[in-house]
């Protein structure tokens, strides 16, 4: 088993189209893969179809950016993308992302930074819009050297370009995913920067998450062991993901998160409906 349960495509802010990403999964030797674009499942059908052809097991996935003072990301897995309430919610999130991009470009323009909304929309293509697309446009104008610099100078909260975006409460993301037949997992828990991680995990478990992404490139072995212990105490499963965004982004790559354990294997079997199989 070689798994990567967290990656992005051009349907959000990744650089590989879903079908090409499936081929990259095969080339990376993955046996199980899940596409988890930000607030959209638009790439899931193409990704799963291409995975089937490539001999990689795949199920549906999404990464919800939830309401929180900081970053709280919830992964939804194995849901029906056509479920009406979930599909409606994701469509609304995409619209809000587009409106927010307009507000941010207007802020930048008002500050004399001549980034064009047309160019940002072109960069986003058919994918849902995000700040990384504005960052790319700023890089093209030589106003930033790379994406982290664009965020630090223009796009982070407190910067001239920033505009708030309406996000989904975690409780709602979880109940919608479950109503659509899926399961939820807390993504990269360390990146929440919560001072009371056990408290946060307990709250989310009450709201209905069933797993924790214990294995993530930024998690040390000690971090992973800590999240495994939290999972064991609360009866949650554990998962692993690289958060791949395409070539040359975020310093990660497909399958970068290669740590394995019996607990992870059990989590994957549960998610993919392979219980009992070896």
Q: Which residues bind Fe ion (CB under 5 A)?
A: 63, 73, 187, 243
Cβ proximity of 85 and 180 under 8 Å: yes
Cβ proximity of 135 and 124 under 8 Å: no
CA dihedral 223, 200, 234, 276 (to 10 degrees): -70
Residue number closest to ligand AMP, CB atom: 130
Backbone angles phi, psi at 32, to 5 degrees: -135, 130
When CB distances are held under 5 to 8 angstroms depending on the partner's kind, the choice from Zn ion, Fe ion, ligand AMP, none that residue 151 binds is ligand AMP
Q: How far apart are CA 78 and CA 273, in angstroms?
A: 10
When CB distances are held under 5 to 8 angstroms depending on the partner's kind, the choice from Zn ion, Fe ion, ligand AMP, none that residue 65 binds is ligand AMP
Q: How far apart are CA 102 and CA 97, in angstroms?
A: 9
Shortest distance (Å) from residue 70 CB to Zn ion:
16
Q: Rule CB under 6 A: which residues touch ligand AMP?
A: 13, 38, 65, 130-132, 147-148, 151
When CB distances are held under 5 to 8 angstroms depending on the partner's kind, the choice from ligand AMP, Zn ion, Fe ion, none that residue 64 binds is none
Residue among 149 and 274 whose Cβ is closer to ligand AMP: 149
Shortest distance (Å) from residue 148 CB to ligand AMP:
4
Residue among 243 and 263 whose Cβ is closer to Fe ion: 243
Provide the CB-side half-sphere exposure for 160 (13 A, CA).
12
Cβ proximity of 244 and 14 under 8 Å: yes
Residue among 72 and 212 whose Cβ is closer to ligand AMP: 72
Residue among 36 and 230 whose Cβ is closer to Zn ion: 36
The string of DSSP codes covering 29-75 is T-SEEE---BT--TTHHHHHHHHHHHT-EEE-EEEEEESSSS-EEEE
Backbone angles phi, psi at 117, to 5 degrees: -65, -35
Shortest distance (Å) from residue 53 CB to ligand AMP:
28
Q: Which of 4, 5, 6, 13 binds Zn ion (CB under 5 A)?
A: 13
When CB distances are held under 5 to 8 angstroms depending on the partner's kind, the choice from Zn ion, ligand AMP, Fe ion, none that residue 50 binds is none
Region from 13-21, 134-142, 179-187, 204-212 binding Zn ion, contact rule CB under 5 A = 13-21
């Amino acid at each position: 088993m070689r798994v990567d349960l967290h990656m992005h495509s051009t349907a959000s802010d990744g650089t590989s189209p879903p079908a090409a990403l499936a081929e990259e999964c095969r080339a990376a030797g993955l046996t199980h893969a899940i596409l988890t674009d930000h607030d959209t499942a638009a790439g899931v059908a193409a990704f799963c179809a291409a995975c089937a052809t490539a001999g990689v097991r795949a199920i549906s996935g999404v990464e919800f950016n939830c309401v929180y003072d900081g970053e709280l990301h919830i992964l939804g897995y194995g849901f029906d993308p056509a479920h009406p309430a979930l599909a409606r919610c994701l469509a609304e999130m995409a619209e809000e992302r587009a409106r927010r991009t307009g507000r941010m470009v207007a802020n930048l323009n008002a500050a004399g930074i001549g980034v064009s909304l047309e160019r940002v929309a072109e960069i986003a293509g058919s994918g849902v819009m995000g700040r990384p697309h504005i960052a790319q446009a700023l890089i093209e104008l030589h106003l930033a050297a790379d994406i982290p610099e664009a965020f630090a100078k223009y796009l982070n909260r407190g910067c001239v370009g920033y505009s708030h975006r309406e996000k989904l409460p975690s409780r709602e993301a979880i109940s919608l995913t479950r109503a659509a037949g899926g399961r939820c997992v807390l993504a990269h828990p360390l990146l929440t920067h919560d001072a009371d991680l056990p408290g946060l995990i307990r709250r989310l478990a009450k709201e209905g998450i069933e797993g924790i992404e214990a294995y993530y490139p930024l998690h040390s072995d000690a971090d992973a062991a800590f999240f495994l212990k939290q999972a064991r105490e609360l009866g949650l499963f554990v998962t692993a993901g690289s958060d791949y965004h395409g070539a040359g982004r975020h310093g990660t790559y497909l399958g970068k998160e290669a740590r394995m354990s019996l607990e992870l294997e059990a989590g994957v079997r549960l998610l993919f409906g392979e219980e009992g199989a070896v």
